[in-house]
Amino acid sequence: MINKRRIFAGALALGLTAAACGGSDEPEAESPAESSEETPAESGEESPAEEAAGELSGDINISGSSTVEPVSVRVQELFNDIEPNVNITVDGPGTGDGFQLFCEGETDISDASRAIKDEEAAACAEAGIEFTEIQVGIDGLSVLTSANNTAVECLSYEQIYGLVGPESSGFGNWSDANALITELGGEGNLPDAELEIYGPGEESGTFDSFIEIVLEDLADERGQEAITRPDYNPSADDNVILSGVESSDTSFGWVGYAFAENAENVTLLDVDGGDGCVTPTAETIASGEYPISRPLFIYVNNAKAAESPALQAFVDFYVADGLDTAVAEVGYVELADDAKAAVRAAWSGDAPAATEEEPMEEDAMEEEPMEEEAAADLSGLSGEITISGSSTVEPVSVRVQELFNDQAPDVNITVDGPGTGDGFQLFCEGETDISDASRAIKDEEAAACAEAGIEFTEIQVGIDGLSVLTSANNTAVECLSYEQIYGLVGPESTGFGNWSDANALVTELGGEGNLPDAELEIYGPGEESGTFDSFIEIVLEDLADERGQEAITRPDYNPSADDNVILSGVEGSDTSFGWVGFAFAENAENVTLLDVDGGDGCVTPTAETIASGEYPISRPLFIYVNNAKAAESEALQAFVDFYLADGLDQAVAEVGYVELSDSAKAEVRSGAEAI
């Protein structure tokens, strides 16, 4: 997983999350249309469907989520009533399998019951596939049992965890979970009845959403990996799951709400997510009262849409009739009217041009806003701006603050860097105006913002590589493979006090077990840091997954949220090992930045290899802006405008990070106009 963190600077450079599409007046959870296309917006043109209704032809291939599949099938039917010569195939092997096909260029549209994962987006980027993400509706996840099971009416998260979480393997009776549920603080009163479980497989978005919404927090609290028990009956086909639940009188399962809503022989159980039992209905899902809900998406291949009038017209039709007709017809919850309008506006603006009109020159795209910034008189501004978050992004924000205060000396700006996670906590509590981040916001963090009514805009400001390093006195090591790094600092290396202690494990992993016989002292970021998350997801996660291990670092190292403390630790031990952001380590005199082999040979970390993606451990850097505060504060709005000008062009390079390309900067500036 290149970590929420992507090689796809285009997708994140646009910078608008669900919360920001269409401006700060749109509800965050209901207005996403996030584009990775790097061409300028084309608006006000007739769509291909308007130009040649009934005359289109071609093939459109759609695959992915079995939950979204019926929506796409219904849109296909409605579209083919108008355009019968367009051949559209739709299937639903699961969200994960769908993204694999999509990022291999095999499909035009990918249906998804979750947002694309970082490793999937990275695969698309590697294949040169740019895409647009469009939310089409909302679905609740239903937990269910046979209609014959009258002993259970409502389940709490603790009870669901006890039945199907990582500590429930082998439980063959509902009551087997009671002791664990009591430990968790829930009511251990499940019935004495045989337990047969049916649910989606790992390739399904329903599987991921269920874990993240219901199981993850409890698993984290108990130091467990956030997974389901392995001994249940998985399927990527929701109909197979329903059949299994129907076939056993005391069954348990989970599927998307729409699939279960009208099933005759199952009971949809109420769920208590902490605020009492709530029945799953269209109303409680749309309002957010029902705790297990999720957005539904389609992902469109931008290049294919630009080349195919049929595909462009189909997507135009999807965001019109699909959002209004098909979603409700198949039983999902429609977006609110203003959210639909935002989705349509975003697609209309971000859709790749299907004409031969020359695109606007990049220089022209940048010129007008840059001139406006230069001409603006900032000297009369006053107010307070509070920025917190990533210690990696902190020096960029500090430099922007210094430059801005040269022109607006009466604006008091405070910047600190406790870490990305701590920064998001403050931001989503309304304590800060801008959150610096060295990773994208996590789902639970975005949910906390949404719960607090905070809408935001995500802006990528640059790119950073993560450097693995050792003392300059350690000449025995020049390059480390992912296998060797995992052997030194991964979940199976606890207690290793010598570099050579890792050699047997490295060899098991298929790497070279030739690390030196030397004392090992490790320094790295703490869990609150985006660097910590990025390092795990880029370097450790795949190997941990292959070995059935939790993707974590060993606990017995020296963590700090301050990169300077980490550098000092590495400098202080001749045979140390550590990792920090590239910019922090690049000019340090007493450390060596090691080459890294991510599978294609050793690569030295430099600005050039990081920008090109050749160096394997790299990540985007962001700021997140509170939209409401920017709308209320002339000083904050001016500061963000200034950040997008001088910050992207000057401050990022001055502190040693890698600048975005000119076209990516133009996308960022254009997208951020919606703040």
Characterize 614-639 residue by residue with b for buried, 16 or more Cβ atoms within 10 angstroms of its Cβ, and e for exposed: bbbbbbbbbbbbbbebbeebebbbbb
Gap between the Cα atoms of 117 and 110, Å rounded: 13
Q: Could you tell me which residue, 30 or 156, shows the higher pLDDT?
A: 156
* CATH code matching the domain that covers 464-619, chosen among 3.30.70.120, 3.30.300.130, 3.40.190.10, 3.10.180.10: 3.40.190.10
DSSP 463-487: EEEEEEEEETT--S-SEEEHHHHHH
pLDDT score at 633: 95
pLDDT score at 600: 87
pLDDT tens-place string over residues 627-664: 999 999 999 999 999 999 877 878 887 766 778 777 67
Gap between the Cα atoms of 476 and 576, Å rounded: 11
Gap between the Cα atoms of 550 and 548, Å rounded: 7
Q: Is the pLDDT of residue 11 over 60?
A: no
263, HSE (Cβ side, Cα atoms, 13 Å) = 28
Pairing of strands 411-415, 383-389: parallel
Nearest to 164 by CA among 177, 179, 149: 177
pLDDT score at 537: 79
Q: What is the mean pLDDT of residues 441-464?
A: 91
Sequence-ordered alpha helix ranges (H) in 490-590: 503-508, 530-535, 541-546, 563-571, 582-586
CATH 3.40.190.10 fits 9-135+294-350, yes or no: yes
Per-domain residue ranges for the chain? 9-135+294-350, 140-293, 362-463+620-674, 464-619
Neighbours of 157 (CB within 10 A): 21
CB proximity list for 360: less than 8 A, separation 6 or greater: 40
Q: What architecture (CATH level 2) is domain 362-463+620-674?
A: 3-Layer(aba) Sandwich (3.40)
3-state secondary structure of 558: strand
Report yes or no: 29 and 450 within 8 Å, Cβ to Cβ.
yes
Cα 72 from chain centroid?
Answer: 23
Sequence-ordered alpha helix ranges (H) in 562-626: 563-571, 582-586, 607-612
Q: Could you tell me which residue, 69 or 666, shows the higher pLDDT?
A: 69
Gap between the Cα atoms of 417 and 388, Å rounded: 6
pLDDT band at 51 (very low <50, low <70, confident <90, very high): very low
Gap between the Cα atoms of 60 and 42, Å rounded: 23
3-state secondary structure of 63: strand
Residue count of the chain: 675
Q: Look up the CATH number of domain 140-293.
A: 3.40.190.10
Domains 9-135+294-350 and 140-293 share a fold: yes
CA distances 459 to 249, 529, 534, Å, are: 51, 19, 18
Task: Of 239-243, 451-455, 531-535, give the lowest mean pLDDT range.
Answer: 531-535
Neighbours of 91 (CB within 10 A): 17
Report yes or no: 95 and 111 within 8 Å, Cβ to Cβ.
yes
pLDDT band at 10 (very low <50, low <70, confident <90, very high): very low
pLDDT tens-place string over residues 493-506: 999 999 999 999 99
pLDDT score at 39: 30
End-to-end CA, the chain:
30
Q: What is the mean pLDDT of residues 610-620?
A: 82
Q: What is the mean pLDDT of residues 528-546?
A: 84
Q: What is the mean pLDDT of residues 14-38?
A: 33
pLDDT tens-place string over residues 96-121: 999 999 999 999 999 998 889 888 99
pLDDT tens-place string over residues 319-374: 988 888 888 777 677 887 777 887 887 787 644 544 333 333 333 323 333 333 34
Gap between the Cα atoms of 446 and 424, Å rounded: 9
Beta-strand ranges (E) seen in 339-425 are: 383-389, 411-415
pLDDT tens-place string over residues 254-308: 998 877 887 889 999 999 998 899 999 877 887 778 999 888 999 999 999 999 9
For residue 659, give the H/E element and its range. Answer: none
Q: What is the mean pLDDT of residues 456-473?
A: 91
Report yes or no: 179 and 162 within 8 Å, Cβ to Cβ.
no
pLDDT band at 55 (very low <50, low <70, confident <90, very high): confident
CA distances 154 to 187, 213, 273, 301, Å, are: 11, 17, 11, 42
Output phi, psi for 491, to 5 deg: -70, -15
pLDDT band at 53 (very low <50, low <70, confident <90, very high): low
- The residue with tokens 């909302």 is 138
3-state secondary structure 401-427: HHHHHHHCCCEEEEECCCCHHHHHHHH
Tokens of 477: 């090591």
pLDDT score at 32: 34
- Counting residues of the chain whose pLDDT is more than 90, the rounded percentage is 55
